[in-house]
Chains A and B, each alone.
Chain A
Amino acid sequence: MTFLNFSMLFGLLAVGLPVIIHLLTKPRLKRMKWAATKFLLKSLQKNRRRVQFEDLILLILRCLLVALLVLLFARPAWLVDAAGLQVGGSNSTVVILLDNSQSMGQSNGTQTRFEQAKSMADGILSKLGSGSTVALYLVSDTVKTLIPKPTSDIAILQRSLAQATLSDRSTDLYPGLKEAVDLLKASQSAHRDIYLLTDSQESGWKQLAQIRQLQDDNKADITIHFIIIGDKGEDNLAVTGLQMVGTVAAMNQPLRCSVQVTNYGSTPAQRVSVKLAIDDNPPQDEGMIEKIDPGASAVVNLFARFREPGYHSITASIPGDRLPADNQRTIALLVLEQIRALVVEGSSNPDPSARDGFFLRHALVPVRPDQVDAYAVKVTMGKPNDVETSTIDQYQLVFLSNVAQLTPLSAQNLQRYVNNGGALIIFPGPATDISYYNSSLGALLPAQLGAAVDAPAAQKFLGWKSSGYDHPITALWSDPASGSLGGVKVSKYFPLQPKTGDAADSTRIVVKYANGEPAVMEQLLGKGKVILFSSTATTAWSTLPIHPSFVPLLLRIVAYATGGPSGKLDLAPGQPFSFEIDSDYAGKELSVIRPGDKKRRIVGQAESGEHSALVHYTDTETAGAYQLFVGDDPKPKAVFAVESDPTESNLKQEAKDQVDPLIAAANPATSPDGSTPGAAKKSGQLVPGEEVWYPLVIAAILLAIMESSLAHRSSQSK
């Protein structure tokens, strides 16, 4: 037996307190003459011994009570052999970290890793000594606290554990461990333990060095138990990518989708069937991948066709395996009935091929003449005066090519058009009056136009940067397999001078020149977008119109400009979704159909914003399509998709030689090499073990009851 708060034992001097109190509070003696002395004498003779005995017992009880209280404050604990010290004794403080990342959904055929982890956590709870307190966290790439502060209420813990659910998040074990260590540092408990139950997926240990450091730094006070579920990761085939390829989503327009399937197993996957479905409908298209080698990916292109405009989801799926969550992948998109574009030419030229909008007109409708009517994008050619009226509101896109100036009315109209959600794409040219543009259209432009300069004389041409793009329009070309923008050359261009200050926040570079100067810039304005090129849409100054990337670039611009609320329909798990709707919807009920659900679930109401209503939804832990409804409208106001991180599909466990030392440090007796790791306490050394407060408290309560009943009895007449 030892005491964790040894100095409190000086309090044992207080045992004499009852005697001192008795002496100090001894009642003053009253004197009086008394006639019936003989009865007093008889009573005294009869009671003296009993009264003295009771007084003595009372004094002993009071002294014992004081001594017990002092002992309690001194925190007595049993001395135990360090090697045999078992965590989870009574009065332990424990944090259970339950990995709920997507990979924990892998099944061994009967149970998922997550179900196994929950059972094991339940087992830990049942083995903990009375008086122990437990906190419960779910860890993935974030930390979700189910029981944030340690509690001894086993019922609440078990209920929370039973209600814990998987997410489709990726894994990072360090933040959860760090948070648990910080919590336990504040605890005064003699035993502080962390139990991490995980499938030990390789990607979860991306901060292995920090985890090792964390364990080393706190090994004296906190024991971290790593409990690995499963011997190895299951073989897994996953849909790791789904995207629309080089076209726009319009009604009755075949939409090409690229589906990537990756084999994370140890054997080749043969004849993998890939299906593509729209919304909750049966698959529209199906493809077959003959063979995917272990660790390799394969892509199949499938087509989707939409019968109705509006928000839709596309889901690519493969046959089921041990991890169902990644056997499908969903994206969301806005399908337009028809995309109308107005191409405004600055000058008129009798030669159609020499007109400012020639290349744009053909690139926007890249189909045979007999298919033009059926094509989703309709192009109208116009003059600068055409943008003066509100008729431009019927177009989703307005292109200005080599337009010298606009009338003030046109400038105002364009400003309004963009603010209301229109897309304005500007190609300057030889006729462009940059002083007019910079002064009258300055608010619209993402950058100021500098005076036209020729390409450096030595090279004759200035090329576009070939890679390193992160803008949605050009991100495709960051992958060399998709071609390169580096082949686009300009002989003359207007240097773009990006805005500074607050105005720069809404601007972004879309394409850069090889010398680092911006070649194309974008500005978000109101609900719309303005994309400013620095060179021509004709071959006068630039090779872009005749470059193979011109058509896909324009299609991507069209898709980007018409792709719904700021193109943010595809989210990562946990990422909140918000978009603006008409202000009329403010205050109306917001309901959602979540992935796998059939019925709407009311989740709140549309919030009122400055000029519009705002829909906000945050519960996006599960991958799949989410349909948001506002009010009684039977059609979804928006559909968005949550896509899990493809790396989460790789179920390979972290190498044993990396993880085993961490496990051994927590359990010295199970050290794989039989030696005692440095973090372990040595055998034979006696260390404070379980605190002995429970019996002392019981004894103190019993003594207090005895003392008060005896004192009460003594105060009664005898």
Chain B
Amino acid sequence: MADSESPSYLDPLAISRGESLGILARNVVEGYRVGEHRSPFKGFAIEFAQHREYTVGDDPRHLDWKVLGRTDRYYIKQYEQDTNFVVHLLIDGSESMNYGSGKVTKLHYAKALAACMAYLVLLQRDAVAVGVFDTETREYIQRTDSLAKIHHIMNRLAAFEATQQTNIGVAMSDLSRIAKAKGIVIVFSDLYDDEEGFERGLQQLRFIGHEVVVFHVLDLQEIAFSFTGRVEFIGLEGAPTLETNPQDIRKSYLEEMNAMRKRMQLACDRTGSHYVLTNTGNSLAETLSAYLVFRQKITAR
């Protein structure tokens, strides 16, 4: 079953657009193998970076003999070393993510988006780790840089079903304990949760040095709330059932929703994280390419 579901998460259009854009870390990250990402550590490998004067303790192998012969001065040659990075994909698997006004639920959308991301990361020989959480981390797939593992990742994602409430703060704290090396943490969630815990989690991840990207996954109707007639809303995650005329409270609802989105964005801004509003009404390709274009722009700064 997992095998049969896995292709549905990889949107060909999203992947092809993603490939052309590539995953570029905004920050220079610390890597454990040579990849496409520059390492902050100047080494002695392939690409020359600069000279510096020799000091005691330096390996004499790195002395630039040509400079020594011409100027009789001791200079050490420094090289720039490329490094790879780890992308942590953290998916909200709470019950509220099960809502979808169309065929696609938010959880499904988040899983697909995460799968595409994972595929792209693996494709450029970087490492990826995937976690699904609700009140705590339910699924965690250790980091891997093998493209062959993508099917395994998708099978594990497909097998997960959302039933519990959310505690995103706990999930982010858990991750900050597990992922000590700096990398990119991408969170997919509707953020219907304790807002303080969410910001605390962001702070912890940023403190370690992770770059954090928050995909705020919302359904089209949650954003537009264009219902008509009389509707009985059955609350998810233990929320009460409400009967009302949506048009009577639409304006007020949208105010509340927009205020929440603004608060989340501010929390991201305060912690130096990226906030990406993700409407499940848009195609995966559209969402992914929009984000990657944005990312390319800010990386080029």
Segment 193-216 of A: residues with Cβ below 8 Å from B: none
At the interface, yes or no: A675 with Cβ under 8 Å from chain B? no
List residues of chain B with CB within 8 A of the CB of A27.
Answer: 229-230
B222 engages A40 (CB within 8 Å): no
- Mark each residue of chain A from 699 to 718: 1 if its CB lies under 8 Å from any CB of chain B, else 0: 00000000000000011111
A26 engages B236 (CB within 8 Å): no
Instruction: Tell me the bound Cα distance from A26 to B247 in angstroms.
Output: 15
A35 engages B222 (CB within 8 Å): yes
List residues of chain A with CB within 8 A of the CB of B232.
Answer: 29-32
List residues of chain B with CB within 8 A of the CB of A39.
Answer: 253, 256-257, 260
Q: Smallest Cβ distance from B288 to chain A, in angstroms?
A: 23
B106 engages A35 (CB within 8 Å): yes
A37 engages B249 (CB within 8 Å): no
List residues of chain B with CB within 8 A of the CB of A41.
Answer: 239-240, 242
List residues of chain B with CB within 8 A of the CB of A40.
Answer: 233, 242, 244, 249, 253
B256 engages A35 (CB within 8 Å): no
Q: Smallest Cβ distance from A634 to chain B, in angstroms?
A: 86
CB-contact partner of A718 in B96, B234, B235, B248, under 8 A: B248
Instruction: Tell me the bound Cα distance from A108 to B243 in angstroms.
Output: 87
The range of chain A's interface size is 20 to 34
Q: Smallest Cβ distance from A219 to chain B, in angstroms?
A: 62
> Which of A36, A40, A42, A717 counts the most B-chain CB atoms under 10 A from its CB?
A36
CB-contact partner of B247 in A30, A32, A36, A715, under 8 A: A715
Q: Smallest Cβ distance from B80 to chain A, in angstroms?
A: 48
In this complex, what residue of B is CB-closest to A38?
Answer: B239
In this complex, what residue of A is CB-closest to B226?
Answer: A717
> Which of A34, A37, A39 counts the most B-chain CB atoms under 10 A from its CB?
A34
A41-B240, A717-B247 are contacts. A32–B233 as well, Cβ < 8 Å? yes
Instruction: Tell me the bound Cα distance from A41 to B230 in angstroms.
Output: 15
Segment 273-302 of A: residues with Cβ below 8 Å from B: none
At the interface, yes or no: A44 with Cβ under 8 Å from chain B? yes
List residues of chain A with CB within 8 A of the CB of B227.
Answer: 30
List residues of chain B with CB within 8 A of the CB of A36.
Answer: 96, 192, 222, 253, 257
B253 engages A33 (CB within 8 Å): no
Q: Smallest Cβ distance from A426 to chain B, in angstroms?
A: 104
List residues of chain B with CB within 8 A of the CB of A26.
Answer: 230
Q: Smallest Cβ distance from B245 to chain A, in angstroms?
A: 8
Instruction: Tell me the bound Cα distance from A26 to B245 in angstroms.
Output: 11
Q: Smallest Cβ distance from A56 to chain B, in angstroms?
A: 14
List residues of chain A with CB within 8 A of the CB of B222.
Answer: 35-36
Instruction: Tell me the bound Cα distance from A36 to B220 in angstroms.
Output: 12
At the interface, yes or no: B134 with Cβ under 8 Å from chain A? no
Q: Smallest Cβ distance from A379 to chain B, in angstroms?
A: 111
A42 engages B234 (CB within 8 Å): no
A718 engages B250 (CB within 8 Å): yes
Q: Smallest Cβ distance from B161 to chain A, in angstroms?
A: 15
- Mark each residue of chain B from 186 to 221: 1 if its CB lies under 8 Å from any CB of chain A, else 0: 000010100000000000000000000000000100
Other 19 A-B pairs with CB < 8 A, given A35-B97, A718-B252: A27-B229, A27-B230, A30-B227, A30-B230, A32-B231, A33-B98, A34-B234, A34-B242, A35-B98, A36-B222, A37-B240, A38-B192, A38-B239, A39-B256, A40-B242, A42-B252, A51-B248, A717-B249, A718-B250
Q: Top 6 nearest A-B pairs by Cβ distance?
A: A717-B250, A37-B239, A43-B252, A34-B233, A37-B235, A35-B99
